[in-house]
Amino acid sequence: MKSETEKGFDGLADGEYKYGFVTDIESDSLSPGLNEGVVREISRRKQEPEWLTEWRVKAYRHWTTLEQPTWAKVEFPPIDYQAVSYYSAPKQKIDAPKSLDEVDPELLETYEKLGIPLREQEALAGVVAVDAVFDSVSVATTFKGKLEEMGIVFCSFSEAVKEHPELVKKYLGSVVPYKDNYFATLNSAVFSDGSFCYIPKGVRCPMELSTYFRINAANTGQFERTLLIADEGATVSYLEGCTAPQRDENQLHAAVVELIAHKDAQIKYSTVQNWYPGDKDGKGGIYNFVTKRGHCRGDHSKISWTQVETGSAITWKYPSCILKGDHSVGEFYSVAVTNNLQQADTGTKMIHIGKNTSSTIISKGISAGRAQNSYRGMVKVVEGAENARNFSQCDSMLIGDRCGAHTFPYIDINNPTAQVEHEATTTKIGEEQIFYCNQRGLDTEEAVNLIVNGFCKEVFKELPMEFAVEAQKLLGISLEGSVG
Amino acid sequence: MEKTMALLEIKNLHASVAGNQILKGINLTINPGEVHAIMGPNGSGKSTLSNVLAGNEAYEKTQGEILFQGKNLDDLAAHERACAGIFLAFQYPVEIPGISNMYFLKAAVNAVRESRGEEPLDAMDFLDLVEEKKKMVQIRDDLLERAVNSGFSGGEKKRNEIFQMAMLEPRLGILDETDSGLDIDALRIVSDGVNALRGSDRGFLVITHYQRLLDYIVPDFVHVLVNGQIVKSGGKELALELENEGYASWNGEQQ
Ligand SMILES: Nc1ncnc2c1ncn2[C@@H]1O[C@H](COP(=O)(O)OP(=O)(O)O)[C@@H](O)[C@H]1O
Ligand SMILES: [Mg+2]
């Protein structure tokens, strides 16, 4: 048995080691804690202009007056916001594995199943630097050149603040104001980095943005900020996230995504979210509190959200559309999978403001294990929104009998010409269905995949082709072992 | 001359479900080309037998041996038994929402083909096969597009089972009360479908409560299952005998 002194000494030794580690990269990290000084320091280190510093500070001051919302159907212990470090530049991993041989075989098996190329596997596992991958493929630079020729700006948020401050200043917070909600306000104060994209008038972006950047995306911080603008007549398809499992020691993630579609512009925003969900007993896992909103600012504009959510211990996420322009269109296609002890409260808001606006909501929730999966959706039609149309379909699938699915539709109609349709179904997959499939020659894993993919196909068909294939595989992996 | 191998050999089979002993020593041999009928009162263990043969894990084999084409079935999981050629037309086919009958069947056909080392069928070849087989049981096109068994009538479900059997071309077809819930026209169509599949390398185990089905699917052998045991076996005339006398005397004999 160790004496109390010895235990204390152990702790001290630990502390010393940590301290030594921190001093090495002192200039890159702030110690945990949040106050106005920290917010200013983040802005200073990022060499931001004064208006942005002040914007962050306003957000911080507002945040101190707010309380964490409790209305979502999720449960978690209180978050200690003072224990979080709000600034750390990309980590130089001292103990990074030297080859794939040193990487957790379980992780590699998952990469394998997803069909991720070896070179990308190495980067995801931290064996080689991300740059090395891009050098070897040498696509990143080629694409950047091509995009620049067309006038498309696609860069990190920090870079945009430096290179295109007028665009950032004009649009930042114009869809999600810093006062929007607890997590968005926190993000506004401390956001680390993220992506910025501007598509000029009349330009069709010739490629799926970020297809080649998925590894970069995997390394963005916990308070990510994305701003995407499609100017008049522009078209863009943007992919966020990564089907590969993402492990992160930061438990709290609070991102903000703002989309702006001007007249005749179209934005398609697709996400695959596969953050670490925690283990079978619910230990660990990411808390994902995201604010995503699109603004159809001009007439005949269109914004589509497609999301496949399989990861995170807690997902709190409602990608929404404000349909301001006449004849504007909002779409939301979602698959949310929860297994074991995962909790998801996700859905959308469609706010009809312009005339002849329409929106479509297709939500597929799948629960297995002891998971809880909630759809929360709002359709609002304001007084002047003549001839608004909405179609909502919310389907839930339960695998086994210990999980739950919940649907919370809110409908707020203030114009008699509105047409709103809502359909909801719940189906249950049990051992009898699986045995039926087995009896026709399908093994249990194939059976679950088949049933689940059949259930989700309306959403998958909205995803870009190669993403759809990966998403299907991902679903199978997420639900592995959930039956039989 | 070498004796041809039995298709199915059941020796002293005991099985239980939810802790209750249901099958109490079944012996039965089916050779290729033969049609065996099993008749018996409700609750005698007919569906239990078919589930045990198909490898449903909710049913536990407690004693005895089942050989399929000489191979011990203990070593095969349910889907492997299906791939090996055992097909069960369920008494109560379950609904699988969200997945179309066609999509499901294509996955099933290709899983079975893959297990035999054959190439998967492409969309065109698969459709050709569907066209050929659907005539046999006169299944409507809209049922093929609908989710598996979802919202099907009782009769439509049974027809769908036989359609699937025709598509999968098993070695052993087990029909668990396929006749119940069918009107006389549907009964004739389903029976014609089964008769068309009869052949020298295929065997059938036809489970029924009523003699009527056996007028259409004429068996080579009839067995009477009462209280988990085969109490009498004979030729097709045994079915008629039962029809006249009922199961009561057998029940009596058991007690
Ligand atoms: N899943 C089950 N759980 C509990 N008891 C069952 C189950 N399946 C069958 N049994 C019981 O086993 C006995 C035989 O049932 P079954 O094989 O379905 O008879 P049959 O098909 O001849 O009507 C019945 O007493 C029935 O209640
Ligand atoms: Mg029965």
Question: Of A343, A338, A406, which Cα lies nearest the Cα of A377?
Answer: A406
- What one-character DSSP code corresponds to residue B85? T
**Pick from A248, A109, A105, A259: nearest CA to A172:** A259
Residue A408, domain member (yes or no): yes
**Residue A447 scores a pLDDT above 60:** yes
Q: Specify the number of domains making up chain A.
A: 1
Q: Note the pLDDT of residue A162.
A: 93
Lowest mean pLDDT across A205-214, A369-378, A412-421, A452-461: A205-214
> B43 CB under 6 A from ligand 1?
yes
pLDDT tens digits, B217-249: 999 999 999 999 999 999 998 888 887 777 776
pLDDT at residue A53, as a whole number: 96
The answer as to whether A276 is a domain residue is yes
Does the beta carbon of B50 sit less than 6 angstroms from any atom of ligand 1? no
- Which residue minimizes the CA distance to atom 4 of ligand 1? B18
The pLDDT score that the predictor gives to residue B197 is: 92
Residues of chain B above pLDDT 70, percent: 96
**pLDDT over 70 at A95, yes or no:** no
Atom of ligand 1 nearest to the CA of B58: 1
- Nearest chain A residue to B96 by CA distance is A433
pTM to 2 decimal places: 0.78
Output the pLDDT for position A212: 42
Q: Is the CB of B48 under 6 A from ligand 1?
A: yes
Domain of A229, in residue numbers: 4-479
3-state secondary structure chain A: CCCHHHHHHHHHHHHHHHHHHHHHCHHHECCCCCCHHHHHHHHHHCCCCHHHHHHHHHHHHHHCCCCCCCCCCCCCCCCCHHHCCCCECCCCCCCCCCCHHHCCHHHHHHHHHHCCCHHHHHHHCCCCCHHHHHHHHCHHHHHHHHHHHCCCEEEEHHHHHHHCHHHHHHHCCCCCCCCCCHHHHHHHHHCCEEEEEEECCCCECCCCECHHHHHHHHCCCCCEEEEEEECCCCEEEEEEECCCCECCCCCEECCEEEEEECCCCEEEEEEEECECCCCCCCCCCCEEEEEEEEEECCCCCEEEEEEEECCCCEEEECCEEEECCCCCEEEEEEEEEECCCCEEEEEEEEEECCCCCEEEEEEEEEECCCCEEEEEEEEEECCCCCCCEEEEEEEEEEECCCCEEEEEEEEEECCCCCEEEEEEEEEEECHHHHHHHHHCCCCHHHHHHHHHHHHHHHHHCCCCHHHHHHHHHHHHHHCCCCCC
pLDDT(A121) > 70: no
Rg (CA), chain A: 23
Set out the domains of chain B in order of their start, with CATH numbers.
Answer: 8-254 (3.40.50.300)
Model confidence at A113: pLDDT above 80: no
Residue A484 lies in a domain: no
Q: What distance in Å separates residue A320's CA from the closest CA in chain B?
A: 27
pLDDT of A225 higher than 60: yes
pLDDT on residue B178? 93
Give the residue, B109 or A85, on which the prediction is more confident: B109
Q: Is a pLDDT exceeding 70 seen at residue A221?
A: no
- Provide the pLDDT for residue A127: 54
- The verdict on residue A191 lying in a domain is yes
Whether residue A38 is contained in a domain is answered as yes
* B165 backbone dihedrals φ, ψ, rounded to 5°: -65, -40
Instruction: Report whether pLDDT(A26) > 50.
Output: no
Q: Shortest CB distance from A436 goes to which of B96, B109, B115?
A: B96
pLDDT of residue A371: 87
| CB distance B197 to B164 below 8 Å | no
Between B165 and A101, whose confidence is greater?
Answer: B165
Comparing A11-15, A109-113, A146-150, the range with the smallest average pLDDT is A11-15
Mean pLDDT, residues A70-77: 82
Tell me what pLDDT residue A285 has: 78
Distance B99 CA to ligand 2 centre (A): 27
pLDDT band at A1 (very low <50, low <70, confident <90, very high): very low
pLDDT value for A415: 95
**Which residue in the set B56, B98, B108 is minimally distant from A440, CB to CB?**
B108
pLDDT digits (tens, 9 = 90+) for B150-205: 889 998 999 999 999 999 999 999 999 999 888 888 899 889 989 999 999 999 99
- pLDDT > 60? residue A275: yes
**Is residue A428 situated within a structural domain?**
yes
Is the pLDDT assigned to residue A13 strictly greater than 70?
A: no
Question: Across residues A168-177, what is the average pLDDT?
Answer: 96
Q: What is the ipTM of this complex?
A: 0.95
Q: Do A373 and A405 meet the contact criterion of CB atoms below 8 Å apart? A: yes
Average pLDDT over chain A, rounded to whole? Answer: 81
Domain assignment present for A118: yes
Q: What percent of chain A has pLDDT over 70?
A: 77
Q: Which of A424, A430, A433 is nearest to A396 (CA)?
A: A424
The two tokens of residue B189 are 């169509």
